[in-house]
Structure 1
């Protein structure tokens, strides 16, 4: 990675398989191997050990961006399986690929070295599910939401937003949106944030993949346009 980091005595003991350094009581200044003992214990890329994945108080803290404020997420009410974390990659896809496993309500970003970043997601309700491969054509911060005509027909109260609801904390697309295209055509589906954090892990959307706002900001910062998306 090229970065010089420090190894604590505890990290060195872990690296040596738990062998104690007999009689030593002082800290050792040595290079940090970057071990993450909370998952598989292998040496990870730097992206996999930052505090944005390991400290829920930081992951789900309140956010202030210009005029927009996001409240802190009461993560104790979010099942642990749907909180952002590092896991062994179960997908077999190439590093950088986004994989959504619908049955699990999980989104994975495949990493080098056999791991993945995993986020909880909400998915389409019955009749709105979809699957397949696509690409992130582009991304937007605080996107405008424009309900399709068929949605307005089902919910006439949305007529006021026919020309688009401005971005903001109450916008259904949340703080970020990734726009999914297939063969150069807009699928109409998005990976996006949601103010309804309690809906993560459920089938409630009109086909889009929804995330906790703090999670979709993290995802937005990690994946570039043209990234491959697999929904299965």
Structure 2
């Protein structure tokens, strides 16, 4: 059908009116869009901190939201005069290094002993234990009488997820003397990178298992003192 110029003009005006009519309020309330708050994504748990269901006591995954990424296990450049296989605990900076070849090391975040209950010096890893019993020394029981049921005389605390030594313990000796200090696991994620324990060196359970699997009995250990700790016990 032919539409002349006047017809086209009338058609366009009618169409415009129709479009405009569609934009006119009908009197109904149009819901407004409420801004949606941005939701923080859940941190992704790396494979190295996944659950370990095949352990004697199944270990849950690490809650990485409670462990700053700077404390996560990693491989780093670490030029040092210490021989390969040595364990170096950098107490002031809350890191443990397992010296590898070619100027490299595996670095772990650790918790260390609080002021007055820390130790530093040179020794060796005498031996390791899986899921050890915890036997608080008599000096600790004297300070905390509630630990008496777990004293050496009473056989200590059985192994388990709530045992303070966690999944593995590495026993530090100086010569033939047991220093009473340990490198051990902990389920208390938030203590990594802090000074909270009674002298021992705490690691995430997944990390201490990794360390124990790679450190040989008899390996040297160097614990660097923290100058801010006024009563540090130096061996």
* TM bucket, shorter chain: 0.7 to 0.9
Q: CA deviation at 1:64?
A: 2.1
- CA 1:200–1:90 in structure 2 vs 1: closer, same or farther (change >3 Å)? farther
Partner of 2:129: 140
Q: State whether structure 2 residue 109 is matched by structure 1 residue 109.
A: no
Partner of 2:74: 85
* Distance in 2 separating the partners of 1:56 and 1:135: 33
Which of the pair has more CA radius of gyration? Answer: 2
Q: State whether structure 2 residue 231 is matched by structure 1 residue 231.
A: no
Unaligned 5+ segments in structure 1 are: 1-54
Correspondences of 1:150-229 after superposition (within 5 Å): 150-162=139-151, 163-229=155-221
Structure number with higher relative contact order (C-alpha < 8 Å, ≥ 6 residues apart): 2
Partner of 2:62: 73
- CA 1:202–1:109 in structure 2 vs 1: closer, same or farther (change >3 Å)? same
Taking structure 1 as the reference length, the TM-score comes to 0.74
Any idea what SS the aligned residue of 2:53 has? strand
Report how many residues are paired.
178
Q: CA deviation at 1:76?
A: 3.5
Q: Over residues 133-153 of structure 1, what are the superposed CA-to-partner deviations in whole Å (9 max), with x where a residue is unaligned?
A: 110100000000001112112
Question: Quick check: 2:80–2:103 contact (8 Å CA) kept in 1?
Answer: no
Any idea what SS the aligned residue of 1:62 has? coil
Q: 1:120 aligns with which of 104, 109, 112?
A: 109
- CA 1:134–1:194 in structure 2 vs 1: closer, same or farther (change >3 Å)? same
Any idea what SS the aligned residue of 2:58 has? strand
Taking structure 2 as the reference length, the TM-score comes to 0.73
Q: CA deviation at 1:201?
A: 0.6
Question: Quick check: 2:185–2:202 contact (8 Å CA) kept in 1?
Answer: yes
Unaligned 5+ segments in structure 2 are: 1-43, 225-235
